[in-house]
């Protein structure tokens, strides 16, 4: 968004959220486009009021008319969980049970067509608007852009279309650069997690080994004391009864000490096992980071293969061929970096086995 703001001709840039949700009303599935209330592409209030809290929403009039609902009713909208930058699964809405507080018209839906969805029967029935405070995700799905001096042009005029196309082309020009920056950011996060987990594993393993060695030394010292006491008994078997009793008491004391040390060793082993459990959790985090890279790598490789196919076209001019070669080189670097980081993650995972 910051990069788009710097493009000549751009006045306002606003991030927004858009996804599909499903509700069950009167034993039937209702599919809705769930959108975020924004300053750009602002909705027109028809009845009631706009949401004041994150457990309120507004709907289009047909939602009420066709589902026997009214302002003030509570509806539940189920939305698939999403993942944050760290790969953690999070709930999309803070509140998926919301009170309908008004009806609106959306500038995004001029006709009755609402689009398609992967949910239910594949057809979106209505749209619902929720406040941005109710959205738990921190990754925008859409960006709205308002151009400078756009009101000078008549909508759909040639000048208007040319102006919009010119700025749109400039936005497309930074697409590859921003995609690479985003990709590098995610790879760096995964790499940092691998290095951090590996260091913590080595530190805890060294600490556990040291405790076990100390406990073993105490056991060996105890065994040595027993051996010395037994030797002393053999050497003084012919001594007076009182001397024999004293030696025997030393053996009992030494055996008790070794028993105590064995109990300490058992305790240290339990602490070590707890450390291994924590390390296994860290290994699972490495596996999750590996999954993020595994998902991205095929996408980049597909783009790379598409560019290779385009380069086989003999009708390409020098400018197009140069640009494709440039993109090909960038993708090769991304693929090599991804594979390198993937190897680092795999090495980190193997250390936990």
pLDDT tens track for 146-176: 999 988 999 889 999 999 999 999 999 888 8
Q: Element (H or E) spanning 234, and its range?
A: helix 175-235
Residue 307 has pLDDT above 80, yes or no: yes
Q: If pLDDT is split at 50, 70 and 90, which confidence band does 243 have? A: confident
Residue 253 lies in a domain: yes
Residue 128 has pLDDT above 80, yes or no: yes
Strand partners, 23: 30
Tell me: do 201 and 334 sit in the same domain.
yes
Range scoring the smallest mean pLDDT among 198-212, 250-264, 291-305: 198-212
Q: Element (H or E) spanning 266, and its range?
A: helix 241-311
Which DSSP letter does residue 43 get? P
Residue 9 lies in a domain: no
Q: Which one of 139, 170, 198 terminates a domain?
A: 139
pTM for the model stands at 0.53
Tell me the average pLDDT across 203-232. 79
Tell me: do 115 and 256 sit in the same domain.
no
Query: For residues 96 and 90, what is the distance between their CA atoms, to the nearest angstrom?
Result: 13
Tell me: do 234 and 337 sit in the same domain.
yes
Backbone angles phi, psi at 118, to 5 degrees: -85, -5
Residue 197 has pLDDT above 70, yes or no: no
Using alpha carbons, select from 79, 64, 74, 103 the residue that is nearest to residue 17.
79
Tell me: do 198 and 132 sit in the same domain.
no
Residue 5 has pLDDT above 90, yes or no: yes
Residue 158 lies in a domain: no
Residue 201 has pLDDT above 90, yes or no: no
Tell me the average pLDDT across 303-321. 86
Long-range contacts of 120-125 (CB under 8 A, 24+ apart): 120/22, 120/29, 120/31, 121/29, 121/31, 123/31, 124/20, 124/31, 124/32, 124/33, 125/30, 125/31, 125/32, 125/63
> Are the C-beta atoms of residues 52 and 119 closer than 8 Å to each other?
no
Mean pLDDT score across all residues of the chain: 86
Tell me: do 232 and 335 sit in the same domain.
yes
Three-state DSSP state, 184: helix
Q: What interhelical angle do 175-235 and 158-173 show, nearest 10? A: 30
> Are the C-beta atoms of residues 25 and 12 closer than 8 Å to each other?
no
Using alpha carbons, select from 4, 282, 264, 16 the residue that is nearest to residue 132.
16
The pair of structure tokens assigned to 63 is 């939602």
Tell me: do 124 and 249 sit in the same domain.
no
Tell me the average pLDDT across 251-267. 84
Tell me the average pLDDT across 242-261. 82
> How many domains does the chain divide into?
2
Residue 247 has pLDDT above 80, yes or no: no
Residue 155 lies in a domain: no
Residue 194 has pLDDT above 70, yes or no: no
Query: For residues 100 and 76, what is the distance between their CA atoms, to the nearest angstrom?
Result: 10
Residue 217 lies in a domain: yes
Domain range for residue 208? 178-351
């Amino acid at each position: 968004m910051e990069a788009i703001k710097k493009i000549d001709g751009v006045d306002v840039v606003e991030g927004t959220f858009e996804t599909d949700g499903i509700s069950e009303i009167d034993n039937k599935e209702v599919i809705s486009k769930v959108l975020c209330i924004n300053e750009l592409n602002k909705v027109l209030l028809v009845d009631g009021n706009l949401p004041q809290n994150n457990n309120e929403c507004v709907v289009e009039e047909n939602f009420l008319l066709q589902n026997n609902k009214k302002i003030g009713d509570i509806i539940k909208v189920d939305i698939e969980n999403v993942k944050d930058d760290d790969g953690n699964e999070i709930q999309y809405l803070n509140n998926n049970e919301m009170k309908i507080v008004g009806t609106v018209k959306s500038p995004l839906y001029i006709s009755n067509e609402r689009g398609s969805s992967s949910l239910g029967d594949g057809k979106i029935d209505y749209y619902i608007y929720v406040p941005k405070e109710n959205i738990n995700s921190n990754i925008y799905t859409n960006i709205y852009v308002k151009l400078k001096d756009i009101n000078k042009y008549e909508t759909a005029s040639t000048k208007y279309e040319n102006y919009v196309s010119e700025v749109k082309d400039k936005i497309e020009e930074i697409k590859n650069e921003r995609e690479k920056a985003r990709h590098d950011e995610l790879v760096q996060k995964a790499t940092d997690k691998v290095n951090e987990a590996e260091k913590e594993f080595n530190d805890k393993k060294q600490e556990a080994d040291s405790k076990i060695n100390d406990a073993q030394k105490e056991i060996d010292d105890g065994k040595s004391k027993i051996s010395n006491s037994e030797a002393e008994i053999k050497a003084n078997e012919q001594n007076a009864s009182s001397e024999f009793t004293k030696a025997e008491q030393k053996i009992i004391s030494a055996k008790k000490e070794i028993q105590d040390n064995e109990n300490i060793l058992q305790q240290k082993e339990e602490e070590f096992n707890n450390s291994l459990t924590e390390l296994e959790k860290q290994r699972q985090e490495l596996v999750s980071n590996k999954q993020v890279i595994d998902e991205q790598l095929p996408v980049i490789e597909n783009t790379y293969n598409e560019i290779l196919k385009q380069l086989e076209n003999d009708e390409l001019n020098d400018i197009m061929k140069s640009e494709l070669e440039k993109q090909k080189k960038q993708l090769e670097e991304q693929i090599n970096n991804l594979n390198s980081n993937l190897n680092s993650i795999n090495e980190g995972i193997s250390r936990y086995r």
